[in-house]
Chains A and B, each alone.
Chain A
Amino acid sequence: MSLTPDDVKKIAHLARLNLSDGDITVYTPQLSSILHFIEQLGTVDTANIEPLAHPLDLSQRLRLDDITEQDMREKFQRIAPQVEAGLYLVPKVIEEA
């Protein structure tokens, strides 16, 4: 699978990455060759094979729906880039009416 520069732009957008034109020139052949390398997987027949998500075939452990964590909001907010009145601040996302 060879990617075009436009494909790479689209992937970068999905991954929320900004790439310069220079970056795209570098990444396009690199990502294409990685995908080409991955395509070796096509050489094996996996028709009746179940996918393996967990190496020990275990499923997710569940716990009771009890409150077990302490409130650490203040501590967590101390390392945040921008907070106010206990809230994390981001650029405005809702337009004024």
Chain B
Amino acid sequence: MHHKNIAELSAELAAKKISSVELTQHFIDRIHQHDEQLNSFITVTEEYALQTAKEADDLRAKGNAAPLTGIPIAQKDIFCTDGIKTSCGSKMLDNFIAPYDATLVKKLKAAGTIMLGKTNMDEFAMGSSNETSYYGTVKNPWNLEYVAGGSSGGSAAAVAARLAPAATGTDTGGSIRQPAALCGLSGLKPTYGRVSRYGMIAFASSLDQGGPIAKTVEDCALLLNAMAGFDEHDSTSVNKAVPDYTALLNQSIKGMRIGLPKEYFSEGLSKEVETVIQSAIKEYEKLGAIIEEISLPHTALSVPAYYVIAPAECSSNLARYDGVRYGYRCKDPVDLQDLYKRSRSEGFGSEVKRRIMIGTYVLSAGYYDAYYLKAQKTRRLIRDDFTEAFKKVDVILSPTTPTPAFKIGEKTSDPISMYLSDIYTIAVNLAGLPGMSIPAGFVNKLPIGMQLIGNLFGEEKLLNIAHQFQIVTDWHKQIPEGF
């Protein structure tokens, strides 16, 4: 039962072959059985899940079921959940019981989903390996010695190990796509402004975007249907009609133009990953797509621009954690400065402090123009590269990551080598575009992700092209041993 995707589970619920309570209990049992070795959940909301599952069954009995009614999912612990601990992977919020639901949580609830719990993540979503979490590293179900990716590593590990049919994630520089890639899943970062950020704890507000992590592209489409839409509580939410994202999935992609950015297939890309991606490209040729080389000339500057803009926004956003209104407060502060300084130093982990300090520095008097303004100008050049490319192609195809999952501990002492592991995903956030990662093969029994990048609000076409790949391949159907 846990190997079925959402579309299949939805059909079983509709045919009354299983109830939501049974389904929910099954996944809770699996969490209890397997999560000790993976560490993918921070909080399991067992009672709450069974209660809402019962309500979903009642709703269905009355004939009021929607496609997601009664489907259990996991929520990344970055989304505020009313009355339930929302830690953001940080000691700073270890005692934080959110006083309201994030819009995304509210919408998924309204669509009938059941929340199994809150998943582990890099602290404040700052990390690419889930090693910065206050709650410990998440293990990759494909090999427990390897990272699950980050920052939505708990979500990805939970879905890959079949502890939840799907989960939510957030993506500031690749935090949905990279863990999806490293765990053999399908993950979608929507266009900036498509999914509300209200109640999603802020890291870098001009880059953050929530989205689904699931086993299939079709499941991502079903979840995006529930997640997307205008929200007056998010000042950057875009007021644009939400189409049915499943409508175009089965359309032929014959004649579609797929661009391969030459800068993404150059030095730094491992040979093994390249081989996997080249065979995926051949599948697309067989499906009738037209493959052409394109250029995104400012690619090399995307990681440096990101590591100015993201820390700058992080240092502003995280200024709110002062030990006064909520979250961690140090013991016996002697004065206000001491309260601020010790609460923040004791509450934040080292990667978060590193980024706060970089952000503080690049925004400080005398350096603002040289760093922050320069990065924002470069951001426009990076965005314009994509605008030019989309005049020629429908989607852009690349590897999601330059290498397969790396070993736990391998990159923790070298921040820059960790940052560079997001080289193919970061530009997409800077440009605000939708991007997906889908499974494309294996190297040494570790999954490899292929990234597809769409034009602004081009999720329908993106999902269509990704789904067509899953019709002719079975990489997304592989299951890690022991799960």
Contact = CB atoms under 8 A, between A and B. Distances in A.
Given A31-B358, A79-B96, A37 B329 contact: no
B416 A44 contact: no
A93 B322 CA distance: 15
A37 to B, nearest CB: 5
A17 B304 contact: no
Contacts of B353: 15, 17, 19, 27
Contacts of A55: 192, 206-207, 379, 383, 429-433
A12 B303 CA distance: 24
Nearest to B334: A91
Nearest to A75: B99
Nearest to A79: B326
Contact of A81 (B99, B323, B338): B323
B471 interface: no
Contacts, number: 167
Interface in B94-111: 95-97, 99-100
A55 to B, nearest CB: 3
A50 B377 contact: yes
Interface string A39-69: 1111110100111111110101101000000
B323 A15 contact: no
User: Interface residue tally of chain A, by bracket?
Assistant: 35 or more
Contact of B307 (A34, A80, A91): A34
A44 B378 CA distance: 8
Contacts of A75: 99
Nearest to A36: B416
Nearest to B362: A38
Interface string B303-342: 1110110000001000100111111010001111111111
Interface in B350-402: 350, 353-354, 356-362, 364, 371, 373-381, 383
A37 B356 contact: no
A20 B155 CA distance: 35
Interface string A1-33: 000000010011011111100000011001101
Given A40-B301, A41-B305, A93-B336, A76 B235 contact: no
A27 B357 contact: yes
B235 A53 contact: no
Nearest to A56: B432
B416 A34 contact: yes
Contacts of B373: 51
Contact of A58 (B97, B238, B303, B315): B238
A31 to B, nearest CB: 6
Nearest to B193: A56
Contact of B329 (A11, A33, A51, A81): A81
A12 B127 CA distance: 21
A91 B338 contact: yes
B298 A56 contact: no
B344 A16 contact: yes
Contacts of B95: 79
Interface residues of B, number: 74
B407 to A, nearest CB: 21
B315 A15 contact: yes
Given A91-B338, A93-B336, A37 B304 contact: yes
Given A19-B345, A31-B358, A79 B99 contact: yes
Nearest to B364: A14
Contact of B341 (A18, A30, A35, A82): A18
Contact of B301 (A14, A41, A50, A58): A41
Contact of B304 (A16, A40, A51, A61): A40
A52 B380 contact: yes
B236 A54 contact: yes
A38 B307 contact: yes
Contacts of B383: 52, 55
Contact of B333 (A35, A50, A60, A91): A91
Nearest to A93: B336
A54 to B, nearest CB: 6
Interface of A: 8, 11-12, 14-19, 26-27, 30-31, 33-35, 37-44, 46, 49-56, 58, 60-61, 63, 72, 75-76, 78-82, 88, 90-93
- A-B residue pairs, 7 tightest by C-beta: A55-B432, A51-B376, A46-B377, A81-B329, A52-B380, A18-B345, A15-B360
15 contacts: A8-B357, A15-B353, A16-B344, A27-B354, A38-B307, A38-B371, A41-B308, A46-B374, A52-B376, A52-B379, A54-B432, A56-B192, A58-B193, A81-B323, A90-B339
Interface of B: 95-97, 99-100, 192-193, 206-207, 232, 235-236, 238, 298, 300-301, 303-305, 307-308, 315, 319, 322-327, 329, 333-342, 344-345, 348, 350, 353-354, 356-362, 364, 371, 373-381, 383, 415-416, 419, 429-433, 456
Given A49-B381, A50-B380, 15 more contacts: A14-B360, A16-B340, A18-B345, A34-B358, A38-B308, A43-B301, A46-B378, A50-B377, A52-B376, A52-B377, A54-B236, A60-B236, A63-B232, A90-B333, A93-B335
